[in-house]
Chain A
Amino acid sequence: AQRVTQPEKLLSVFKGAPVELKCNYSYSGSPELFWYVQYSRQRLQLLLRHISRESIKGFTADLNKGETSFHLKKPFAQEEDSAMYYCALRNTGGFKTIFGAGTRLFVKA
């Protein structure tokens, strides 16, 4: 069965510190993976997707098929990064997206 696991409910770091939000998945095929973010009082929005290999707002995520992980990283956290982050998986060629439970990131001044 498809599953997305985000082991940390809450992650608290100081401004300027590196941050890593963990995401592990189980899927038998070749998945497409995404990170979505929800800032306070804003809508859920796409942050980045593995297929694009992009860096958005200083965040990157590398798909590790051997470890079935898609961790989100940023070398220097900023206060405005405080938000709820969701890792998500889509079955290739399908229309269903599976979300993890989410990690709340709190960046302290």
Chain B
Amino acid sequence: NAGVTQTPKFQVLKTGQSMTLQCAQDMNHEYMSWYRQDPGMGLRLIHYSVGAGITDQGEVPNGYNVSRSTTEDFPLRLLSAAPSQTSVYFCASSPSLTLAADTQYFGPGTRLTVL
């Protein structure tokens, strides 16, 4: 099992550009989520999904879109990048809906810089 994979590892964007951060898991997990990690602020939940076709907003959803067309994939889209979105982005998955935040498995992260 590859676990949770994220691509790319690094990305530099210009203000106003759009892009998609990819996340995939091969563990057949129902729950998936996206976080951003900023110095002094820990991890903040952007969006999450409890299954294919079902997504919901987290703490900081503005400027980001998600979709969940398959169990395996949970891409995060930045519609119009802003410098405030410079961060490290983590994707995570969890096997059980009833233990959704219990034993989350994290990806390696994507470091995004917006100029």
Contacts and interface: CB of A to CB of B under 8 A. Distances in A.
A102 B42 contact: yes
Give the residue among A51, A95, A100 with the most B Cβ atoms within 10 A: A95
A90 interface: yes
Given A34-B102, A86-B43, A90-B102, A95 B56 contact: yes
A98 B45 CA distance: 7
Interface residues of A, number: 23
A66 B58 CA distance: 28
Interface residues of B, number: 27
Interface string A90-109: 10001111111110000000
Interface in B85-100: 90, 92, 97, 100
Given A43-B108, A44-B106, A96 B101 contact: yes
B101 to A, nearest CB: 4
Contacts of A34: 101-102
B104 interface: yes
Interface string A53-67: 000000000000000
Contacts of A4: 42
B62 to A, nearest CB: 16
Give me the 10 closest cross-chain CB pairs, A-B, nearest first.
A90-B101, A97-B101, A99-B42, A99-B43, A44-B106, A95-B100, A101-B42, A43-B106, A102-B42, A46-B103
6 contacts: A46-B103, A49-B103, A86-B43, A90-B102, A95-B50, A100-B42
